[in-house]
């Protein structure tokens, strides 16, 4: 770099590199844009052809419509129809948008309802103190994330960004500069180690009481960081599982499965199904036994009916033989009437006796109840007053609880909004971190390419120098110059030989016409003796000598 031409050449090299980078970016942008001039020109020509066809078609339709007697009325009707169709299309699009918005709002309502149900289930058996304690824990956790963890991470990212900006702002360094930096880093590291060892030797372990506390603070800070990381992972997993559960519920509802049970409701439902299954099995066994018994009884009844019919026929035959037909039926009817009469008499007597007994029992029961309830009534009077006081107190407490719950819900909504804002900010910072990380990798790759280029350029190995971009571009430029030089020489040769070549071509055309004339004359002569056979052209003879029947050149 101390020589005179080297700084200028190096400045030109840097300018060329910058130009190459800009051109490369533009080329990549054009490649990624997907534009192609040939395709664009082709599309433009196709659209122009279609435009001409449409113009011709419109003119043809105008001429056809103008010949119609009611053309103006029909055109107005057609225009109105088109406007109404456009309006109908817009209304359909608006309807689709409204339906989509309604679906989104329904999903949002279901999601909020699910969150509300989860919150209510979590609040079952809880009191305001427990809820306040939970909210305070969440607030402390979020506060720690926002005030301690995130500023540290942001400071680290800013520090990395500043280092990257410094690296980018630094001029290109050679291998010697890099070696110097490595030596400085090594010297500083050794100096730091020596200072640490010197400090450890000079300090008294008994006097250094703060080391233990520092160690404990570092351990607690590490545990705190680990707990915070676990908390964030668990919270993310909870949100993910909640979303999956909501999707599964939506799928179950769409499939017609009704509301999905969970927790204690599902356990009660399973126990209920088990008890019903046991009862069903018992009832089925009882039905089987009853059916078997019914078959036996049906067969017995059938046998008895057959015997009764046989006995009845036998009695009728005996009555006919003795001349007392119908005696058995009359006797059965008299027995039935007497049985009914006796049963009615017994019922009347029993009814009177039952009524009298019931009256006596009720009288005794009322007296007993009065005697037994008298002391209870005496004790109940102060209890009623106490119950009234407790009811009033319960109403007051309930009102206070509802007020506190409403305040907590409003505070919880505010905290949820803050947490949501913090989450969004975290996601933005994470995306920014990934972007900066990618930019850092790109800068490292570019720096590596520049270092490789400089190393190859400053290397004494000619084979390595041939691999540099400068050598490559110089070879390509030289090849293109040689190719252009050869093409210019070829063009010069073509220009110089153009006139003689034209004359030679004209002479060959004259020869061709002469030979064609010769062939034509030969055909007209009809094959005279000693014609032109064998070509009739001899180079040994003097040119244009006309003999008897041949032409010798």
Helix (H) or strand (E) holding 546: strand 545-546
Separation CA 337–CA 351 (nearest Å): 21
Predicted confidence at residue 176, as pLDDT, reads 78
Residue 101 half-sphere exposure toward CB, CA atoms < 13 A: 6
Q: Which helix (H) or strand (E) is 97 found in, with range?
A: helix 71-122
Cα(212)–Cα(8) distance, rounded to whole angstroms?
61
Q: What is the pLDDT of residue 516?
A: 93
334 token code pair: 């008299």
SS3 551: strand
126 pLDDT band (50/70/90 cuts)?
low
User: Token digits for 160?
Assistant: 């990395």
CA distance 366 to 369: 5
pTM here is 0.23
pLDDT in tens, 66-101: 777 777 777 788 788 888 888 899 998 988 888 888
What is the pLDDT at residue 123? Answer: 63
Q: Give the separation between CA 60 and CA 67, rounded to whole angstroms.
A: 11
Instruction: State how far the Cα of 190 lies from the Cα of 141, in Å rounded to an integer.
Output: 41
Task: Tell me the mean pLDDT in the region 517-532.
Answer: 72
Q: What is the pLDDT of residues 374-404, one digit of tens each?
A: 777 777 778 878 888 888 888 888 888 888 8
**Encoded tokens for 277:** 């299954």
* pLDDT, mean of residues 495-512: 90
pLDDT class for 529, splitting at 50, 70, 90? very low
The highest-confidence range among 157-161, 229-233, 323-327, by mean pLDDT, is 157-161
The mean pLDDT of 30-39, rounded to a whole number, is 66
pLDDT digits (tens, 9 = 90+) for 437-448: 888 989 888 888
Distance CA 268, CA 553 (A): 126
In terms of DSSP bridges, do strands 545-546 and 551-552 run parallel, antiparallel, or are they unpaired? antiparallel
**Which of 41-50, 131-140, 208-217, 236-245 is least confident?**
208-217
Angle, to 10 degrees, between the axis of helix 327-458 and the axis of helix 150-169? Answer: 30
Cβ–Cβ < 8 Å for 522, 532: yes
Return the ∠ at Cα 442 (arms to 438 and 445), rounded to 5°: 140
Could you tell me if 465 and 459 are in contact, meaning their C-beta atoms sit under 8 angstroms apart? yes
Per the CB < 8 A criterion, the answer to whether 15 and 173 are in contact is: no
How many residues would you count in the chain? 553
Q: Residue 258: pLDDT above 60?
A: no
Tell me the mean pLDDT in the region 354-380: 77
Residue 181: CB partners within 8 Å, gap ≥ 6? 173
Lowest mean pLDDT, pick from 378-382, 515-519, 538-542: 538-542
Percent of the chain having pLDDT more than 70? 83
pLDDT digit string (tens) for 471-492?
Answer: 778 888 889 999 999 999 988 8
- Mean of the per-residue pLDDT values of the chain: 78
Q: Evaluate if residue 532 carries a pLDDT over 60.
A: no
For residues 502 and 510, what is the distance between their CA atoms, to the nearest angstrom?
12
Q: Are 154 and 428 in contact (CB under 8 A)?
A: no
């Amino acid at each position: 770099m101390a020589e005179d031409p080297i700084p200028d050449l190096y400045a030109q090299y840097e300018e060329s590199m910058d130009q190459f980078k800009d051109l490369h970016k533009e080329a990549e942008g054009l490649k990624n844009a997907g534009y192609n001039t040939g395709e664009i020109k082709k599309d433009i020509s196709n659209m122009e052809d279609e435009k001409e066809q449409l113009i011709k078609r419109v003119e043809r339709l105008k001429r056809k419509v103008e010949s119609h007697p009611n053309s103006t009325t029909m055109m107005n009707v057609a225009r109105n129809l088109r406007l109404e169709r456009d309006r109908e299309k817009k209304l359909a699009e608006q309807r689709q948008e409204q339906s989509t918005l309604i679906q989104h709002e329904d999903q949002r309502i279901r999601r909020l309802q699910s969150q509300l149900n989860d919150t209510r289930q979590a609040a079952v058996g809880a009191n305001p103190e427990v809820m306040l304690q939970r909210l305070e824990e969440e607030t402390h956790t979020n506060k720690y994330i926002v005030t301690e963890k995130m500023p540290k991470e942001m400071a680290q990212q800013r520090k990395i960004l500043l280092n990257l900006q410094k690296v980018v702002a630094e001029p290109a360094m050679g291998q010697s500069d890099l070696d110097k930096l490595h030596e400085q880093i090594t010297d500083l590291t050794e100096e730091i180690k020596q200072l640490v060892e010197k400090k450890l030797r000079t300090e008294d372990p008994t006097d250094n009481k703060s080391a233990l506390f520092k160690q404990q603070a570092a351990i607690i800070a590490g545990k705190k960081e680990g707990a915070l990381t676990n908390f964030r992972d668990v919270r993310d997993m909870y949100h993910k599982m909640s979303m999956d559960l909501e999707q599964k519920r939506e799928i179950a509802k769409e499939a017609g499965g009704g509301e999905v049970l969970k927790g204690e409701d599902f356990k009660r439902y399973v126990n209920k199904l088990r008890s019903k299954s046991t009862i069903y099995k018992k009832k089925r066994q009882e039905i089987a036994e009853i059916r078997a018994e019914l078959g036996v009884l049906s067969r017995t009844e059938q046998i008895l009916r057959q015997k009764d019919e046989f006995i009845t026929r036998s009695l009728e035959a005996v009555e006919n033989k003795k001349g007392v037909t119908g005696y058995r039926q009359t006797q059965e009817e008299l027995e039935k009437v007497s049985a009914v009469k006796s049963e009615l008499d017994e019922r009347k007597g029993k009814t009177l006796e039952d009524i009298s007994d019931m009256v006596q029992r009720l009288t005794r029961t009322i007296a007993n109840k009065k005697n037994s309830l008298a002391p209870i009534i005496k004790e109940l009077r102060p209890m009623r007053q106490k119950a009234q006081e407790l009811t009033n107190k319960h109403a007051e407490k309930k009102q206070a609880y509802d007020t506190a719950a409403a305040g907590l819900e409003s505070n919880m909504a505010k905290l949820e909004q803050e947490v949501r804002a913090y989450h969004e900010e975290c996601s933005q910072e994470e995306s920014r971190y990934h972007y900066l990380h990618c930019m850092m990798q790109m800068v490292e790759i570019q720096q590596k390419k520049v270092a490789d280029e400089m190393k190859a350029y400053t290397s004494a190995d000619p084979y390595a120098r041939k691999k540099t971009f400068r050598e490559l571009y110089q070879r390509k430029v030289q090849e293109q110059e040689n190719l252009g030089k050869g093409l210019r020489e070829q063009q010069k040769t073509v220009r110089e030989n153009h006139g003689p070549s034209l004359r030679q071509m004209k002479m060959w055309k004259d020869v061709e016409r002469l030979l064609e004339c010769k062939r034509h004359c030969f055909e007209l002569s009809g094959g005279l003796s000693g014609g032109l056979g064998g070509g009739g052209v001899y180079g040994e003879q003097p040119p244009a000598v006309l003999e008897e029947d041949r032409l010798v050149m």
